[in-house]
Amino acid sequence: MVQAASSQSLSGADHWRARAANVLPAAGFGNFDPSMILARGEGSRVWDEDGNEYIDLLIGSGPMILGHGNPEVAEAVAEQMGKGLTFFTNNSAGIELAEEIVEAVACAEQVRYISTGGEADMYAMRLARAFTGRHRILKFEGGYHGMSAEALMSLAPQKLVNFPNAVPDSAGIPKSVEEGMVIAPYNDLGAVRELLDQFDGEVAGIIVEPLQRIIPPVEGFLAGLREEATRRGIVLIFDEVVTGFRFTYGGAQAYYGVEPDLCSLGKIIGGGFPLAAVAGRADIMAHFDKAKVGADGFALQIGTLSGNPVASVAGLKTMEILRRDGMYDAMAAKGEVLMSTYGDALGAKGIAHQIVGEPWLFDCVFSPRAIEDYRGVLGGDGDLAKAFNASMRASGILKADAKIYTHAALTAADMDQIQSAIHTAARAL
């Protein structure tokens, strides 16, 4: 009570930071720098509790691809809120959104909703085990698939061990989970084949981000995974929580031209509200239907807010807007300008760097070597990255530590300010 009272003498963000320190572990939600306390967002910009204004390249870690408070999305949400917030039963908006996902996403024959992308990845891995009767999952070092026990294996290891050994990223994970995971280097198809030979007949699924964080697949890598999974009866899972509807309307599987068996979706399909989904082949998705697969093959899945109608209408309207002519090309053009600006500004100062990613999602790694996997990113100069990002924030640009999300709300004035901030940050280094 004494600490809480002392916060009354503070103002703005300091007031809220003091209150957060009393009630939140590490004074935050666990997602981002807890010193950043945002008050509102509009279009391409956000304001913190001290009134500081930022151009937002974080966009809620991806969902706000149209910017904050898009009026068409807000109108659709307001209309649904007058009809009901959630039901637990089926609802027409959720069914319509599932139809649109099936129409848009190549691998999607059926859809099952959950509330977060991490849950979607967890259920996709569970479906792979249920479908194949096998127990191991192959994932890639540095790949992010949420916060399940399986996903928190070699997500961001600082201690690099020999493949395929898994390194837990969290306390509280049973040893048995570690033993069920096979860890491979991203973009190394030869290593994947060797590991699949080593664990022949034991691997249920391969889960992969088609674009791993910001690292693009090398030529033939995703197609090679598809070939190996088909040949060995393994379920290929694309984690498209980030990439779904971001590069092009059909997601990364359309952009790269490789179709998985299952995919996870999130972020954009909820239009800024908590909504995610597993989508894929009907024979695999059938394991959510006890009448079709029996009790032994049934994968139980229940969620209070699954298919929430408010999130569904927000997602439907967001996706409708993204289907309009030129939306993805316009975002790509902005991304290409920013990528080029990074290269020009840093190159002019002789600073070793790699611009990594696609125009819709990228960042800079301060390294002289090409980046093809997690260890390449880990080998970059983290101190330079922190200094660069700090300068960007001082110039009024909000971004994630290792990602820039290009989005539709960025204006010509925003682009000028971002480019100026990049040059300022390069000079500061």
**Mean local confidence (pLDDT), 399-409:** 97
How many Cβ atoms sit within 10 Å of the Cβ of residue 274?
16
**Catalytic choice (56, 239, 261, 414):** 239
pLDDT of 2 strictly over 80: no
pLDDT in tens, 122-172: 999 999 999 999 999 999 999 999 999 999 999 999 999 999 999 999 999
Q: What are phi and psi of 40, to 5 degrees?
A: -165, 165
3-class secondary structure for 341-352?
A: HHHHHHHHCCCC
Query: How far, in whole angstroms, is CA 116 from its chain's centroid?
Result: 11
**Catalytic choice (54, 139, 261, 267):** 267
**Catalytic choice (54, 113, 144, 328):** 144
Judge whether 414 counts as a catalytic residue. Answer: no
Cα dihedral: 408, 414, 419, 421 (round 10): -120
Q: Please answer whether residues 185 and 375 qualify as being in contact, where contact means their C-beta atoms are separated by less than 8 angstroms.
A: yes
The residues near 383 (Cβ < 8 Å, ≥ 6 apart) are none
Place of tokens 């996903």: 151
d(CA 62, CA 238): 17
Longest pairwise C-alpha distance within the chain: 66
Place of tokens 């300091």: 14
Residue 274: cis peptide before it, omega within 30 degrees of 0: no
* Numbered ranges of CATH 3.40.640.10 in the chain: 72-322
In sequence order, what are the beta bridge partners of 47?
A: 40, 53
Q: How confident is the model at residue 3 (pLDDT cuts 50, 70, 90)?
A: very low
Judge whether 144 counts as a catalytic residue. Answer: yes
Helices (H), 62-132: 71-81, 92-104, 117-132
Concatenated DSSP letters of 120-176:
HHHHHHHHHHHHH---EEEEETT----SSTTTTBSSS-SS---TT---BSSTT--HH
| Percentage of the chain modeled with pLDDT above 90 | 97
d(CA 144, CA 155): 6
Per the structure block, which two tokens stand in for 160?
């690099």
CATH of 72-322, one of 3.40.50.2300, 3.40.640.10, 3.40.800.10, 3.40.50.720: 3.40.640.10
Q: How confident is the model at residue 4 (pLDDT cuts 50, 70, 90)?
A: very low
**Mean local confidence (pLDDT), 257-276:** 98
Judge whether 349 counts as a catalytic residue. Answer: no
**Mean local confidence (pLDDT), 223-231:** 98
CATH of 36-69+325-428, one of 3.30.750.24, 3.30.559.10, 3.90.1150.10, 3.40.50.800: 3.90.1150.10
Q: What are phi and psi of 207, to 5 degrees?
A: -110, 130
Concatenated DSSP letters of 255-324:
HHT---SEEEE-GGGGTTSS-EEEEE-HHHHGGG-HHHHHHHH------TTTT-HHHHHHHHHHHHHHTS
Contacts 24+ apart (CB under 8 A), 147-156: 147/118, 148/118, 148/119, 148/121, 148/122, 149/173, 149/174, 149/177, 150/122, 150/125, 150/177, 150/180, 150/181, 151/118, 151/121, 151/122, 153/177, 153/178, 153/181, 153/183, 154/181, 154/183
pLDDT in tens, 17-46: 999 999 999 999 999 999 999 999 999 999
The residues near 342 (Cβ < 8 Å, ≥ 6 apart) are 353, 355, 364, 422
**CA angle centred on 136, ends 296 and 186, rounded to 5°:** 140
Query: How far, in whole angstroms, is CA 394 from its chain's centroid?
Result: 26
The residues near 163 (Cβ < 8 Å, ≥ 6 apart) are 141, 183, 184, 185, 191, 195
pLDDT in tens, 48-107: 999 999 999 999 999 999 999 999 999 999 999 999 999 999 999 999 999 999 999 999
* Spatial CA neighbour of 134 closest among 195, 203, 183, 182: 203
Provide the edge-to-edge strand list for the sheet that holds 404-405.
Answer: 354-358, 361-365, 404-405
Task: Assign 338 to helix, strand or coil.
Answer: helix
Position 227, amino acid:
E
pLDDT of 9 strictly over 90: no
* Numbered ranges of CATH 3.90.1150.10 in the chain: 36-69+325-428
Q: What are phi and psi of 315, to 5 degrees?
A: -65, -45
